[in-house]
Every structure is written in C-alpha cells, then in structure tokens.
Amino acid sequence: MLKDITLGQYYQTESLIHRLDPRVKLVGTICYIISLFLVNKIQGYVIALIFLAIIIRLSKVPFKFMVKGMKAILFLLLLTVVFNLFLTPGETLISIWKLTITKEGVRVAMLMAVRLSFLIIGSSVMTLTTTPNHLTDGMEKLLNPLRKLKVPVHEISMMMSIALRFIPILMEETDKIMKAQIARGADFESGNLIKKAKALVPLLVPLFISAFRRANDLAMAMEARCYRGGEFRTKMKPLIYQRADRLAYLILIIYLVICFLAGR
Amino acid sequence: MGIIKAVQLAFEYIRRDEDGNVEGITRAIDGVDLEIKEGQFIAVLGHNGSGKSTLAKHLNALLHPTEGTVYVDGKDVREADKVWEIRQTAGMVFQNPDNQIIGQVVEEDVGFGPENLGVETKEIWERVEESLKAVGMYEYRKHSPNKLSGGQKQRVSIAGVIAMHPKCIILDEPTAMLDPNGRKEVLRAARALNQVEGITVILITHYMEEVIHADKVFVMDQGKVVLQGTPREIFTRVEELRKLRLDVPQVTELAYELKKAGLDVPEGILTKEELVEALKSLKK
C-alpha cells in the first residue's frame, strides 16, 4: 500500500510546458505569485486568469488534477475568507447581531480567495509538469551564485535527491517493521493520542537504526564511485536553455508588464 | 607485478567505549599476502567474520591498512593523493542493492560514476549505454530502481561500476540478499565481464557453487588466507574445508563420500556431468 504512493504529483505526458527548463518553471511560478499580490484591480486578475488558463491548456494536464491541490487548502481558504469578511472595518453592508459585513470586507475576502486559489493552481502546474529530480536540478543551478557566499548548494541538492530516492524504500521498511511489531502484539490503533504516540516508539527506533545503517552504506558506495562533492563534476543531463525557454522568459516579462500596467 | 598485490596486509578494528578509551582490538586481517593477475576471475571464500569483506575494502582504498599495504595497478593505497585513481581502477559492488543506487532513474545512476570523474556529457551517455548493454539492462534505462528485482538492481550497480572503465571489479557478496534466480543473473553478468571485456573480477562470497568457474580461489579464516589454488585443488580438501565451517558443493561432497566408501572416483569433482562420466567409466 505505502509502496504505491508517487512522490510529488508529477503527471506524465508530453507537452510544451513539460519540456521547458525547470529553471524557467521555477522562476515563472515565483513571478506569477508575485504578480498576484501586486495587482489589486479586477482587470489584473482577469489577465492572471487568462494567463493561467493558457498555461494549463498548454500543459495538457487534466484540470481536475489542479483542483486536487485545492482540497488541501480549502479550510485555510474558508478561514481567510470568513475573517476578512467580518473583520475588515469600513462601510456597513449587513449587520447581524454583533457581526457586520462591510463593503470593503467583501472586496478583500474575494480578493484573497482569488489570490490563494490562483496561487495554489499556479504552483501545482509547476509540480505537475516537472519531476522532483528536475526541480532539484533546476534549484541547484538557480542557486549556484550563492556558492560564492559559501552556501553548499550542490550538497543541499544532492541531499534532496537522495532523500527523494530513499523515501519509498523507507516507506516500505516502515510497513515491514509495523507488520513485524503487530505480529509480536504491538497495538498502533487504539488508545488516545498520547498512547498512540508512545506506541510509535517500537516502530521509530528500528526505522532510525536502519536508516543510519543505510546512510553509512550509501556513503561508502558513493565514495567507492569517486564521489567527492560538486567540484570537477560533470553532468549527464546538463541544463541548457533552448529557444523555447528564452521565448518563455520573454512571454513572462510581457505578462508581468501588462499585469502591472493594467492591474495597479 | 599483478593488478593487485597485497604485502603483509593487516587491519585492526579498534573498539572504544563511550569515553573514547580503547576497549579491545580485533585483528580483522592478519598478514595477508596475495597477488592477482590481470584478466583473472578470482573468488575469495570464507564464512562470516573471516575478514573477507575487510580485505575487499582495502582493495579500493576504502579502509586504510594498519600494517603492510596493497598495490592496485602499481599504486600504493597508503598514498592519499592516489585514492581516486585507485577507486577508478578497482570498482566495487556491495551487498545490499538498495543502499548503493544513488540515481532515481537507472541511467542516471549508471552515469553517477562518470559524472564524478568529470567525463564529458556526450561520453557519459556513450558509457552509460555500453555499460547497460554489457549487463543486459539497457531496456530498463528509463525505469525507477525501486521497481526492479534484486538481481536487476545488482546488475545496475555493476553497470554503474563498469561505466567508470575500471580494470578490476570487486564484488563484495553481491548475491547474499538475492533469490536463486537473481544470483544466477548476477553471476552470469560477472562472468561475461571477465570473459568478454577482460576485466579482472574478484568475487567475495560464501556460496561454494559460485566459485566453481573461478581461475583461482582464496579461502580466508580469522583474517588469514588459509588455502589457495584452483577450485579443483581447493575442493579436493574436503576435510580441511569442513574444519573451516565451509561446505563443498553437493556433487563434490557426494564424490568424496563415494571415494571414502571405496569407489574409485577421481578427486575434486566439480560438476554433475563430471561425476556422471566418472561413474560411467567405473561401470565399464
């Protein structure tokens, strides 16, 4: 059961967006989010909506996958809307008991709802069209200038990709240990929260020991294969900007300019 | 000088208590001398704790000898600046297939070694292709390692080592965690490397059946090489092997017992076919 989970939420298909350089997608998503918070007129949001719709269309990912991401933040979304609706001071629209809805409140609440949903959908476009591996690669390359500030960029990205590789293995191991402990009479289901947390100890201790052992083995295997950090290393799949990527940057800039001019 | 030469090699594991005081010293390797010629298929046998894995880790400078030294292709493992050259010359495949695959896609894992060596992108792809073809895993190049069987994972690990173009490959109990089919797959790949590519293979194992095809066998016990010779020479010494808590292959044991019971069968029979022939000629 635990074995089948896929990491991130990559949706495998062939599309223009899938083929883009991960750096373009990362920068694009960040710029899009910034644009959402910069504009505050209806026109701006219409442009943001059109832009997002075009991207989703181009990505060939079914829309229902984007909405999936929304479910997770539905509660947060509702909370934000309710708070903004009732707590924004201004011209009273309706007043029930002690609660008042103001004209400004309605406006801010709607604004926040739109911003948040666009933000979530926008970033799921990125995670749906880019493999976690590609994302770490893109991040490494984008953050490369930070190396001058002694930030271990290569090491961080290596750790991330190793973590991604080992998550399914450790999941499987958790499953195995859990079954082994259940067979010995361990009870993970009943009792209150504290009791349940305590029941996890016989699961976590062997898991940690095994994880450390694996880490030790892996480190040795990496050394045996001449791994010595990021220096001198070449890439099997280097990231090189293609024409489509440059074009995408250009479109992004045009979008940002239009958004800024129309939406402020 | 052979590709690998150990001279009076010794290694001690030092156990310390929580305050860092020495609690005890275990001499895992105790004065080993051996020489391996290029292009040979070598097997190192021994039961658990005989020091065979510790020996393996010296052959590509993962461990530093306490006494004596090892020369790999003429380079001394004690010299710190030669470490990377040595590790490239003598590649290593470990026991647990899950704990030595780094990439999330088969081809990326095979490319990991060449990437570390600073090979050009174009050549990395060529090397990955040829190595995956050499172990028969080319059609799986786009797969996730997590979806492969144990034998397939080990073959990917072997490909990852070949991609670094080593002269010698050390396989440290590569089949210990595999099912019989996986064991066959891995051994076939190892033998092909030796015969087709001419790479020196050092197979460390405690399965007797795996050493039959070796050119030379070293048997280790308590950190020492106690027996060495061709598989046939080794397996004629059934009594000594038993003392070392090692089993001989079933056929060999049967032939040995028959001989002991008074039948005139030759010593050191390794395969079923040989025994059948021997018994047939006996009948005549």
A230 touches chain B (CB under 8 A): no
Nearest-CA distance A255 → chain B (Å): 35
Q: How far is A97 from chain B (nearest CA, A)?
A: 59
Query: Which of B62, B112, B146 shows the shortest C-beta gap to A168?
Result: B146
Q: Is A6 on the interface with B (CB under 8 A)?
A: no
Residue A23: the pLDDT is 92
Q: CB of B9 within 8 A of CB of B76?
A: no
Q: What is the largest CA-CA distance in chain A?
A: 73
Q: What is the pLDDT of residues B105-120, one digit of tens each?
A: 899 999 999 999 999 9
How far apart CA B56 and CA A151 sit, in angstroms, is: 36
Q: What ranges do the domains of chain B cover?
A: 38-62+72-230
Residues in chain B closer than 8 A to A6 (CB atoms): none
Question: A236 and B121: CB-CB below 8 Å?
Answer: yes
Show the beta-strand stretches assigned E in chain A: 92-96, 99-102
Closest to B127 in 3D by CA, of B197, B228, B37? B197
Q: Is residue A225 within 8 angstroms of chain B, CB to CB?
A: yes
Q: Which residue of A has its CA nearest to B169?
A: A224
**For residue A235, what pLDDT is reported?**
86
| Encoded tokens for A171 | 């999941």
ipTM at complex level: 0.86
Q: Which amino acid is at A14?
A: E
pLDDT, position B177: 87
On whether any CB of chain B is under 8 Å from the CB of A219, the answer is no
The first and second tokens of residue B52, run together, are 């065979």
* Main-chain phi, psi angles of A151, to 5 degrees: -85, 125
Give the Cα separation of A226 and B102 in Å (integer): 13
Sheet holding B200-205, edge to edge: B90-93, B168-172, B200-205, B41-45, B216-221, B224-229
Q: How far apart are CA A20 and CA A41, in angstroms?
A: 31
Burial of B228 (0-12, 13-18, 19+ CB in 10 A): middle
d(CA B193, CA B278): 32
Check CB contact under 8 Å for A226 and B117. yes
Contacts of B104 in chain A (CB under 8 A): 132-133, 161, 164-165
- State how beta strands B41-45 and B75-76 pair: unpaired
pLDDT tens readout for residues B36-54? 999 999 999 888 888 888 9
pLDDT in tens, B135-177: 999 999 888 888 889 999 999 999 999 999 999 999 999 998 8
B114 vs A234: CB contact, 8 Å cut-off?
A: yes
- Judge whether A236 is closer than 8 Å to chain B, CB to CB: yes
* Cβ atoms of A164 and A136 closer than 8 Å: yes
Strand pairing class (A92-96; A99-102): antiparallel
Rounded Cα distance between B255 and B282, Å, is: 13
Count CB neighbours of B85 within 10 A.
15
Cβ–Cβ < 8 Å for B223, B30: yes
Does the distance separating the beta carbons of B92 and A214 come in below 8 Å?
no
Q: What is the pLDDT of residue A8?
A: 56
Q: How confident is the model at residue A219 (pLDDT cuts 50, 70, 90)?
A: very high
What pLDDT, on the 0 to 100 scale, is given for residue A3?
A: 39
Residue among A165, A226, A238 whose CB faces B88 most closely: A226
Q: 10 Å Cβ neighbour count for B239? A: 8
The mean pLDDT value for A167-183 works out to 90
State the DSSP code for B197: I
| CA pair distance A93, A103, nearest whole angstrom | 6
Residue ranges for chain B with pLDDT beneath 70: none
CATH no. for B38-62+72-230? 3.40.50.300
Query: 3-class SS at B163?
Result: coil
- CB contact at 8 A, A203 and A178: yes
Give the mean pLDDT of A160-174.
Answer: 87
pLDDT digits (tens, 9 = 90+) for A71-124: 778 888 889 888 888 887 777 777 777 777 888 888 888 888 888 888 888 888
Q: What is the pLDDT of residue A108?
A: 85
Q: Which residue of B has its CA nearest to A216?
A: B99
pLDDT band, residue A6 (cuts 50/70/90): very low
- In angstroms, what separates the C-alpha of B86 from chain A's closest C-alpha? 9
Burial of B121 by CB count in 10 Å (0-12 exposed, 13-18 middle, 19+ buried)? Answer: middle
Report d(CA A130, CA A225) in Å as an integer.
28
pLDDT of residue B250: 82
The partner residues of B217 in beta bridges, in order of sequence, read B43, B229
Q: Taking a C-beta distance cutoff of 8 angstroms, is the pair B268, B274 a contact?
A: no
Tell me: pLDDT of A1 over 60. Answer: no
Q: How many CA atoms lie within 13 A of B79 on its CB side?
A: 10
Contact state of B108 with A162 under an 8 Å Cβ cutoff: no
Cβ <8 Å between B104 and A164 = yes
How many helices and strands, by DSSP H and E, does chain A display? 10, 2
**What is the C-alpha radius of gyration for chain B, rounded to an integer number of angstroms?**
20
CB pairs A-B closer than 8 Å: 87
Residue B231's nearest CA partner among B240, B246, B221, B219 is: B219
**Single-letter residue type at B281:** S
Output phi, psi for A182, to 5 deg: -60, -40
